[in-house]
Chain A
Amino acid sequence: MNELASAVPWLGRRNPQAARWLIVIVAIAAPLVAVLFGRTWVRVLDFALLYVMLALGLNLVVGFAGLLDLGYIAFYAVGAYTAAFLASPHFGVHLPFWIVLPVAAGFAALAGIMLGFPVLRLRGDYLAIVTLGFGEIVRIFLNNLNYPVNITNGPQGINALDPLVLFGWDLSRNLEITENLSINSLFLYYYFFLACVAGSIVFIQRLQVSRVGRAWAAMRDDELAAKAIGINTRNLKLLAFSLGATFGGVAGGLFGAFQGFVSPESFSLMESIAVLTMVVFGGMGNVAGAIAGALILSALPEILRHLAVPVQQALFGTVLLDPEVLRMLLLSLAMILMMLLKPAGLIPANARYSHVEHLKRHGVSR
């Protein structure tokens, strides 16, 4: 929370206490403001929170442990498809959410270890390519495992996933308080996701300053030196992959239940890159950065989508750039320009946990 608070512009340094309250108030009030512009914006916020969760998980792998993972979305896919298998009419299984989510997280963690083992010896760019390949392999299997035995239902995906039900309380139905006052399901999901994100933030921040987190930082900055002082880099790498994957799996399970529909299309390479861009844009190795990056880069394309179409129609009479193109343009430019102009990201990581190269670059003494 301190790191988050100090990332608030202007206020953070002067009055951290106030900044902390500001974050809480904004987080709680956001959907209430968003709904004034229309219900779709609450949905955008819901998805933004899922992206925050993904970015937090990827930040664990890329930012803390220094392992560039370009196939991260595969874990999201594993989580989402596990939810689809265990709670949908596809196999006729309808397990309760409290079983589905841990199982999804567990399978994702397992997938993380499965990816982790063979790539233990790889570093840097080789690792990036192999993880990319892993992500593509998972997607190819999801796309084609409808023959000869229909497991994933192929490109059509799986429909009608069970919604989230907490203690017999269905989040996909509006909560009726009185006859003319009800809370829309999108809000319920928002606050549930918010609680999940808050839990993740607490967990990750504790993790970062723990023995494991410090060992990750050491390994990231100099693997050989880390080994020399007795850090078990093999276990730590596997832990990074599996923990990062767990977050992806949980986010995937939530995504499946929220959207009620999963298909391989949602887990393309572009999504992996999008999550990576969020982490890079916000600031690698920094929880506040990952959150800011995810919120900005998931909301901005939606805002552009709503602005760009009318503006283009007014100016040129037709839509020259469709929203999907704008999103890709935004993400790729964000990636390139951020690396060229501000490689440490929007909110540079706290010097103590920052990449050693960045310290040198900015002339900070260690």
Chain B
Amino acid sequence: MEIFLQQLVNGLVVGSVYALVALGYTMVYGILGLINFAHGDLVMVGAMSALQTMLFLMGVTPGMSPLAMLTLSLAVAIPVCMMLGYTMERLAYRRLRNAPRLAPLITAIGMSFLLQTIAMMLWGRNYHTFPQLVSTAPMQPVAGVFVTPIQVTIIVGSALIMAALIVLVTKTKLGRAMRATAENHRVAALMGVDTNLIIALTFVIGAALAAVAGVMYASNYGIAHYGMGFMPGLKAFTAAVLGGIGNLGGAMLGGVVLGLVESFGAGYIEHMTFGFLNSSYQDIFAFIILGLVLIFRPTGLLGERVSDRA
């Protein structure tokens, strides 16, 4: 039972990070029908630029409080990712909006590898230790489960951000414009929505979420390196599909469900396969889920409309 609860907490933590990243995928997919492969690498850029800021701050003012340092590094990482997201949209994806269907996808793959390569040039191939500014020492155990402050911060933080995003999309004028553009961007343009601006803003908002997710992910594991974003990116995409792509609530649900499946899967796979498979197979759960969802319920858990975009 304790193992069960412990895996539940771990799953929730990882799941909320996936959910944040999945939101970026799902918003862009909802509007453009594009899988922005490079979105996962924005997670890495977020973590890396936060790391760089922290190292800089530690060098300049050694006695700085962790909270201030975390805030400042987020204040650097988020705009960096936002600018990067905007640049990608402006320079590459915008020109390919009416191109043959494979072109934007191939460009996005290229973009992802370009970001990884540039990161490799800037920060090298090594794993960097990421300062864990929020403590990772377990607090008083509740029902035999150890919860760390960073885990609480991640769950609460991402819940708050997601709530804010829902308010933004459902209650504000910008949100209405985004939904209209997703529905049909030609008609939205006729109604006076500046669709180019809205699409760019969607990328920018998604990038900001990715930056936060990157800092959370790196703080949780205490490491960062140039390729750290790719796998979480793929998993977040899986989460978005699982929840129903294009659907914000679905992305959140999918992220949490995927995090839980992974965490329980990794915890119990050894028992289930009689020791044949072990937790190093953790990464295959996401792909298996993705395959199953796409085959049996392509609309996802919460999705209504069938995406027939080829």
Contact = CB atoms under 8 A, between A and B. Distances in A.
A168 interface: no
A24 interface: no
A296 interface: no
A336 B276 contact: no
B159 interface: no
A335 B106 contact: yes
Contact of A124 (B96, B105, B120, B284): B105
A130 B103 contact: no
Interface residues of B, number: 47
Contact of A333 (B99, B105, B110, B281): B110
Contacts of A148: 275-276
Contacts of B302: none
Given A123-B310, A336-B92, A128 B105 contact: yes
B105 A125 contact: yes
Contact of B100 (A123, A320, A361): A361
B149 interface: no
A325 B275 contact: no
17 contacts: A119-B294, A121-B295, A124-B102, A125-B34, A126-B241, A129-B35, A129-B237, A129-B241, A136-B284, A276-B106, A328-B116, A332-B110, A339-B107, A340-B95, A343-B99, A343-B100, A358-B100
A183 to B, nearest CB: 39
A99 interface: no
Interface in A319-366: 320-321, 325, 328-329, 331-336, 339-340, 343, 355, 357-358, 361
B291 interface: yes
A144 B96 contact: no
Interface residues of A, number: 50
B294 A325 contact: no
A18 interface: no
Given A134-B287, A325-B117, A335 B310 contact: no
A280 interface: yes
Nearest to A138: B284
B121 interface: yes
Interface in B73-105: 92, 95-96, 99-105
Interface string A301-323: 00000000000000000001100
Top 4 A-B residue pairs of the complex, sorted by shortest distance between their CB atoms: A335-B110, A133-B287, A357-B100, A332-B113
Given A130-B290, A137-B287, A140-B281, A335 B102 contact: no
A273 B113 contact: yes
Contacts of A325: 117, 120-121
Contacts of B194: none
Given A325-B120, A340-B95, A136 B103 contact: no
Interface of B: 34-35, 92, 95-96, 99-107, 109-114, 116-117, 120-121, 230, 234, 237-238, 241, 275-278, 280-281, 283-284, 286-288, 290-291, 294-295, 298, 309-310
Nearest to A62: B102
A140 B285 CA distance: 11
A294 B212 CA distance: 39
B102 to A, nearest CB: 6
Given A137-B287, A144-B280, A328-B117, 15 more contacts: A121-B295, A129-B241, A130-B287, A132-B234, A137-B288, A140-B281, A148-B276, A270-B113, A273-B113, A276-B109, A325-B117, A331-B110, A334-B110, A339-B103, A339-B107
B113 A328 contact: yes
Nearest to B114: A332
B64 to A, nearest CB: 32
Contacts of A321: 121
A118 B291 contact: yes
For the residues of A in contact with B, the DSSP-based class is helix
A210 B310 CA distance: 26
Given A118-B295, A130-B294, A136-B283, A223 B310 contact: yes
A147 interface: yes
A366 to B, nearest CB: 15
Contacts of B100: 343, 355, 357-358, 361
A335 B105 CA distance: 10
Given A328-B113, A328-B116, A329-B114, A340 B281 contact: no
B225 to A, nearest CB: 14
Contacts of B276: 148
B98 to A, nearest CB: 9
Contacts of B103: 339, 343
Which of B290, B298, B310 has the most chain A CB within a 10 Å cutoff? B310
A128 B280 CA distance: 24
Nearest to A134: B287
Interface in A96-154: 118-119, 121-126, 128-130, 132-134, 136-137, 140, 143-144, 147-148
A132 to B, nearest CB: 7
A62 B109 CA distance: 15
A133 B121 CA distance: 27
Contacts of B121: 320-321, 325, 329
A358 to B, nearest CB: 7
B34 to A, nearest CB: 8
Nearest to B118: A329
A68 interface: yes
A148 B275 CA distance: 8
A273 B112 CA distance: 11
Contact of B234 (A124, A129, A329, A339): A129
Given A130-B294, A133-B290, A328-B120, A333 B114 contact: yes
Of B107, B113, B277, which is in contact with the most chain A CB atoms at under 10 Å from its CB? B113
B35 A335 contact: no
A366 B17 CA distance: 49
Contacts of A280: 106
Nearest to B33: A125
Contact of B114 (A147, A336, A355): A336
